[in-house]
Amino acid sequence: MLHARIPQRIPLAFMVITAAISTAFIFGLVAMLSWQGCLMLMLVAAALTGGAVFTIQEMQSLGHEAPRIERSAAKTR
């Protein structure tokens, strides 16, 4: 019987974005915003946090690129 592969851990990016959305939701409730205002605050928090996490991950991956293999002119003949 084949089993579906279940991820063993939640990626850090999703946890950070979820924490930002939750914080924005609580802030919206404390500030007594309408549901539209609370939703807008949550979407803005998700977009900003997602962009920041993506940028940080891309900046970290710049140093870990695979080395390029340069072929000399003698080997290509």
CA 64 to chain centre: 18
Residues 6+ apart with CB under 8 A from 38: 24, 25, 28, 29
Helix (H) or strand (E) holding 18: helix 12-30
pLDDT in tens, 52-73: 988 888 887 777 666 666 666 5
Q: Which residues contact 48 (CB under 8 A, 6 or more apart)?
A: 20
9-57 pLDDT, tens per residue? 568 889 999 999 999 999 999 999 999 999 999 999 999 999 998 888 8
| Amino acid code (one letter) for 56 | I
